[in-house]
Amino acid sequence: MAHLDIRGLAARYADQIVLDGIDFSVERGEIVSLIGPSGSGKSTLLRVITGLLRPERGEIAVDGTPIDYGNRHSLRTTREKLAIVFQQYNLFGNMTVLRNVMIAPWKIRGRDKGEVEASARLLLEKVGLADKLNAYPDELSGGQQQRVAIARALCLKPEILLLDEVTSALDPERVSEVLETIKLLASENITLLIVSHEMNFVRDVSHRVAFMANGRIQEIGPPEQIFDAPLMERTREFTGKIARTG
């Protein structure tokens, strides 16, 4: 049974169709990256999965259980299994790093404060920020803030982690530290769905890569297929441009 299964998914913003018949699944512990031109629907797909945008039709299931996006209980149950990290860090400026990581599982999920704090400290150590527990976001670099955002998502103990272009707002010299953090996650058997324009990273970390264009998945396969021997002309055109500009 697929960990995440998506069938016939469609969504729109106002009168514009942004997802048009998405079909694919992700196995437990698998890392799937979404690549493609701007406006192809990659980030929108993550937002639909988490319920930030309601699908127009189609079905998304987690562990075989369909998500009813019109049912508050179903959506809340699903969100307890998911976490998403966005391009912008969205940290609370008036809270320390440690409290930023603790606040959602402690105050919203109602978990024991001591347990949450212990987990938060371990996660911040894991992402290389054990010395920043009492710092505030404006005292951190962009890369450090993004690593806090990743630790915050992991403190929710998600089964599936969605990463939406988490390096796009960073200065180039800060990108590598965040990518190294994601590689660390990739070794821990968490299911990852990644939207990224860092193609070398995608090739290195992914089990499969999905190329999206015009709101559809045009091709999905192992990184060596997508980057070295794509089956579809549209994929060849995209990866060829990457090769010429890389």
Phi, psi for 192 (deg, rounded to 5): -125, 130
29, two tokens: 């512990």
Q: Which percentage of the chain shows pLDDT scores above 90?
A: 81
**Residue 128 belongs to a domain:** yes
What pLDDT sits at residue 168?
85
**127 lies in a domain?**
yes
The beta strand positions in 36-169, using DSSP E, are 57-62, 65-66, 82-85, 160-164
Domain that holds residue 106: 91-157
Q: How many residues does the chain have?
A: 246
Residue 165 maps to a domain: no
Does the pLDDT at position 241 exceed 90?
A: no
Q: What's the mean pLDDT when you consider all of the chain?
A: 93
Q: pLDDT at position 244, please?
A: 59
pLDDT in tens, 9-45: 999 988 899 999 999 999 999 999 999 999 999 999 9
pLDDT digits (tens, 9 = 90+) for 190-204: 999 999 999 999 999
Amino acid 245: pLDDT:
53
- Is residue 86 assigned to a domain? no
Average pLDDT over residues 79-108: 94
What is the reported pTM?
A: 0.91
What residues pair up with 5 in beta bridges, in sequence order? 25, 61
User: Tell me, what DSSP letter sits at residue 159?
Assistant: S
Domain membership flag for residue 133: yes
Q: Is residue 134 part of a domain?
A: yes
- What b/e sequence results for 150-171 when a residue is b if at least 16 CB atoms lie within 10 Å of its CB, and e otherwise? bbbbbbbebbbbbbbbbbeebe
Number of domains in the chain: 1
Q: What is the pLDDT of residue 243?
A: 61
Distance (Å) of CA 183 to CA 93, 190, 224: 27, 11, 18
Q: Is 76 contained in some domain? A: no
Question: Percent of the chain scored above 70 by pLDDT?
Answer: 98
Comparing 189 with 97, the larger pLDDT belongs to 97
Is the confidence at residue 108, as pLDDT, over 90? no
Q: Is the pLDDT of residue 189 over 90?
A: no
Whether 137 is covered by a domain: the verdict is yes
